[in-house]
Structure 1
Amino acid sequence: MKADKRELQRRIAYEAARILTEQRSGDYAYASRKAANRLGLNDLRQMPRREEIEEALREQQRLFLGEQQTSALQQLQRDALEAMHALSRFLPLLIGAVQAGTADRNSAIQLLLFADTPEEVIFALSDLNIPWRDSEHLLRFGNGHPKPMPSFRFRAGESAFELIVLPPKGRYSRPIEPGSDQPIRSINRDQLSALLNQTPT
């Protein structure tokens, strides 16, 4: 029975990874539901964990994109590190597909920033001569309710960025990973720098 369940989860994970790639989406919960529906599986107990879908996505990228995906991910990581240096006063954390290692050349670099007001980030972007557009990013916190947080989107070079602004106390009460009950996964500037230093060129 356990083997059957694992096989079903694996099938859903691989189909969900295909859907994420096809639709250029980061909505893992939606992709899981759609994958299960495509396969005629409606038992929520069979749903794979987010980590299983990410692993399936990385495997598909290795198979179909190979070195192209690896090079794109490394460039995004380098661009993320440069932005984290420039915005270091906001103690940036890298999240999303670039952090998870599932990004391709079309993925946006997502950074969490911590500031008393969004205006502080606006002033910093202006000082850096970066044209931006404001938006909102829904994040879920411990109470389970999605909350819109201010965000700023822009392009620098070939990379797209999204800066999501949290109050300083957000450093100690992290949002919840989409499709999970765990705190959102992130790495800081030093951790990203160490990761790049370990990556073969």
Structure 2
Amino acid sequence: MDVFDGTLPGVRVIEPDVYTDDRGAFLETWNARDYGKHGLDVTFVQDNLSRSRTHVLRGLHFQNPRPQGKLITVLKGEVYDVVVDIRAGSDTFGEWEGLRLSAENGRQLYVPEGFAHGFVVTGDEALFHYKCTDFYHPEAEGVIHWNDPTLGIDWPVDDPVLSERDREAPGIEALSEERFAFGTAHTPIS
């Protein structure tokens, strides 16, 4: 397995070892011991799976208080995945990073607490799996507009399929500073 730092603090790209033969392929999508050796020493408490059709965009979602770290794996299809730093006082507040994840390339993405997250399906359909470091708390969920010009995210789809909530979401500047008070003393996973 290879693990790389993303451009934002704490974001990690994981390329698991994939074993293939004439029957197909095998890979581990999580192993606490082995991932821990690469600095991903986290505890997951909830797994989620979404199925989305082409050009569906979900995000940019976050949870605060009770932020969630997420380990993302695409089990079928391909997505363009985006994370945005929303930690108050962070040197990279409002900066984003995007990455193509697919069942074919097997890449995973670790999104640390204090980041908004979203993805758009770039193939026909995607099965999108993610492990979370905290439980879902509906009273803590938040959303930032997917196409906020302040963020300037370069999405690969111009006219995505959106939920009403995502379509009506405010921009990052409309949300109060307290909403992003994840703490300024963030220690990236090493």
Using the size of structure 2 for normalisation, the TM-score is 0.29
TM-score, with structure 1 as normaliser: 0.28
Larger RCO of the pair (alpha carbons < 8 Å, separation 6+)? 2
For the pair shown, the structure with the greater C-alpha radius of gyration is 1
If each structure's helix is expressed as a fraction of its own residues, which one has the higher value? 1
Structure with greater strand share of residues? 2
